[in-house]
Amino acid sequence: MKIDKTNIILNTDGSIYHLGLFPNEINEIILTVGDPDRVKFISRHFDSINLKKQKREFLIHNGVYKRIPISVISTGIGTGNIDIVINELDILSNINLKTGKRNNEEKKLNIIRLGTSASIHSEIELETILLSELAIGFDNLLNFYSYQNEYKNSLILKLKKHLNFRDNIINPYAFHCNISLFNTFSKTFKNSGITLTNPGFYGPQSRSVRIPLKFEKLNSKLNSFNYSEKKITNLDMETSGIYGLCKLLNHKSLSINAILANRITGAFVENPDKTIDDMIEQTLNLVESI
């Protein structure tokens, strides 16, 4: 089936619209970061770099690490940008840009987010590297797609009741990480939990500066929630979108989080770059096991 070209927009040079990339310019293992400056923080570990390309906030470095081709790309902040990045990576992998038709053979990507995050539990120490086993989205992105929400009648209902959400202003969704990637990385990273993805950094994460909050003490209520003996461990702004889109597009995904802050104790890590670099080095050493 040919896909409407108004859904797949190309630049004048034939590259995909936002990322500015061609199909041969991405690898099957892709590390995503929010900050464009963090791309070079990762690629400096590569044995060689064969591509550097940027359009808007989307910077990509392709290289080789221990003979393994890897792409690292910045997404910017929020699931709105994730919607662009994951969809365009899938288009580059599975759609013929010239004809707009699906390729005969489906390509599955391994998309691993390396992010920073804040914990909402005092016992989760700063500098912890934490895997997102499950992601809950407060951001609403996946509610624009048609799919069967397997957690709607269990996790979501329980969470809405726990938080006393009586309206549909927030309509959460949830997706699991890829089990194979989780099993591989959990051998090294022992901490895991449920990540809550928010649509913003201030009000949605209970930061009040000059505007009163609608949901008071939200983080405290999230702190006391559990599902299948798993707690909501940390807050971010991307993971739920990555998990949801990758699941629906049949790609593998995992979010790895460096815990730099604790919202309960108010503590912040003294040397964030060291924590982030430790996460990067350990992740790169595990890539060959994928």
Tokens of 60: 């990509």
CA separation for the pair 194, 192 (Å, rounded):
7
For the stretch 51-64, pLDDT in tens is 999 999 999 999 99
3-state secondary structure of 53: strand
Q: Which phi and psi angles does 219 have, rounded to 5°?
A: -65, -35
Q: Which residues pair with 65 in a beta bridge?
A: 68
pLDDT value of residue 3: 62
Q: Determine the pLDDT at residue 263.
A: 92
pTM given for the model: 0.95
Question: How far is the C-alpha of 32 from the C-alpha of 22, rounded, in Å?
Answer: 18
Q: Which residues of the chain have pLDDT under 70?
A: 1-3, 5
56 touches 18 (CB < 8 A): yes
Residue 216: what pLDDT? 82
DSSP class of 55: E
The pLDDT score that the predictor gives to residue 172 is 94
Helix axes 79-94, 239-249, angle to 10 degrees: 30
Torsion angle in degrees (nearest 10) through CA of 94, 236, 73, 67: -90
The pLDDT > 70 percentage for the chain reads 99
pLDDT at 15: 96
Give the pLDDT score at 223. 92
Condensed to tens digits (0 to 9), the pLDDT of residues 146-173 reads: 998 889 889 999 999 999 887 778 899 9
